């Protein structure tokens, strides 16, 4: 019997540890951390390639840039969860967050978030002061401009939130070239224009939840047809942006244009879609593949310039 209790106790401990890790990863929004690190690394790697600075001889900059950025994003995400803990229970997607379930108490979340941001800023400053400044800009735009100000008050909240989502490649680039070249701003513009159609498609799928939570997302306030027009407009804005990275060669420009044509085609089809939610799901999936393919292609093409 004692062996049985020991086994049960061990199993419960393992389950508790697994649950704690899962809750921690949910608290820092590990998916957002990972996706932003892709763009951070791209900015950092392209800066090495465009400036001719040795990637291998400056591996410490990669470490400082990636881990510093990861920490400030994780800390900012935790603050976002803390700020939104009153509305998250309303939404299916967010109701199991540890700030809602009480797994992590508010004082602990605040301490963890501020510690992560402070450590991240220290690492970025050790790389370059410019990287630390862009890191602070990212934290401010996400936590203050988006989470605390625009998210619950303005239908333009998605566009405001796109500022913070476009800053990680600037952080990565400034780790290598603090003055930022044209390539850095090209990455910023691509990420800025990519986010509204990506998040509007997600918002269409979650319209009822956003309405219940009182969040003025575009589909909630203006309806699906207006949202489709906005998506189309933002996709069109993406068309000239690959040309800003002409240093990557004609192959990249062709690939970027092909991806834009595909997204444009799907956007136009939306005006005749019989099932808006099915169409929005297709658009959302395409946007994820678009970002992944485009940024991986940037890295690959930059190796051969």
pLDDT, tens digit, 9 for 90 and up, residues 231-283 = 999 999 999 999 999 999 999 999 999 999 999 999 999 999 999 999 999 99
Spatial distance between the Cα atoms of 244 and 258, rounded to a whole number of angstroms:
16
Which tokens in the block code for residue 124?
A: 């970025």
* CATH superfamily of this structure's domain 12-180: UbiA prenyltransferase (1.10.357.140)
Q: To which H or E segment does residue 279 belong? A: helix 276-303
pTM of the entire predicted model: 0.92
Spatial distance between the Cα atoms of 182 and 174, rounded to a whole number of angstroms:
12
Residue 184: pLDDT band (50, 70, 90) is very high
Alpha carbon 20 to chain centroid distance?
A: 24
Cβ-Cβ contacts under 8 Å for 5 (sequence gap 6 or more): none
Listed by start position, the domains of the chain span 12-180, 182-305
Count of beta carbons in the 10 Å neighbourhood of residue 285: 12
Which tokens in the block code for residue 7?
A: 């086994």
pLDDT, tens digit, 9 for 90 and up, residues 114-166 = 999 999 999 999 999 999 999 999 999 999 999 999 999 999 999 999 999 99
Is residue 210 within 8 A of residue 220, CB to CB? The reply is yes
pLDDT, tens digit, 9 for 90 and up, residues 42-99 = 999 999 999 999 888 999 999 999 999 999 999 999 999 999 999 989 888 888 889 9
């Amino acid at each position: 019997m004692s062996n049985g209790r020991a086994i049960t106790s061990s199993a419960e401990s393992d389950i508790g540890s697994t649950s704690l890790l899962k809750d921690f990863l949910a608290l820092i929004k590990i998916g957002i951390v990972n996706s932003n690190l892709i763009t951070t690394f791209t900015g950092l790697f392209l800066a090495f390639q465009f400036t001719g600075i040795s990637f291998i001889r400056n591996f410490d900059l990669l470490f400082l840039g990636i881990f510093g950025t990861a920490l400030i994003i994780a800390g900012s995400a935790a603050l976002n969860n803390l700020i939104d803990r009153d509305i998250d229970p309303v939404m299916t997607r967010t109701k199991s967050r540890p700030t809602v379930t009480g797994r992590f108490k508010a004082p602990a979340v605040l301490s963890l978030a501020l510690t992560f941001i402070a450590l991240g800023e220290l690492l970025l400053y050790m790389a370059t002061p410019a990287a630390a400044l862009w890191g602070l800009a990212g934290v401010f735009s996400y936590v203050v401009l988006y989470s605390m100000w625009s998210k619950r008050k303005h239908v333009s909240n998605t566009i405001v939130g796109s500022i913070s989502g476009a800053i990680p490649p600037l952080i990565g680039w400034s780790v290598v070239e603090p003055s930022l070249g044209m390539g850095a701003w090209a990455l910023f513009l691509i990420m800025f224009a990519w986010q509204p159609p990506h998040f509007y498609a997600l918002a269409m799928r979650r319209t009822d939840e956003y309405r219940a939570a009182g969040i003025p997302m575009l589909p909630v306030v203006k309806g699906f047809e207006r949202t489709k027009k906005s998506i189309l407009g933002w996709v069109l804005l993406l068309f000239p942006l690959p040309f800003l990275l002409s240093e990557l060669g004609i192959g990249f420009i062709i690939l970027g244009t092909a991806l834009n044509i595909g997204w444009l085609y799907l956007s136009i089809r939306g005006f005749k879609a019989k099932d808006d939610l099915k169409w929005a799901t297709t658009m959302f999936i395409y946007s994820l593949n678009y970002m992944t393919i485009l940024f991986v292609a940037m890295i690959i093409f930059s190796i051969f310039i």
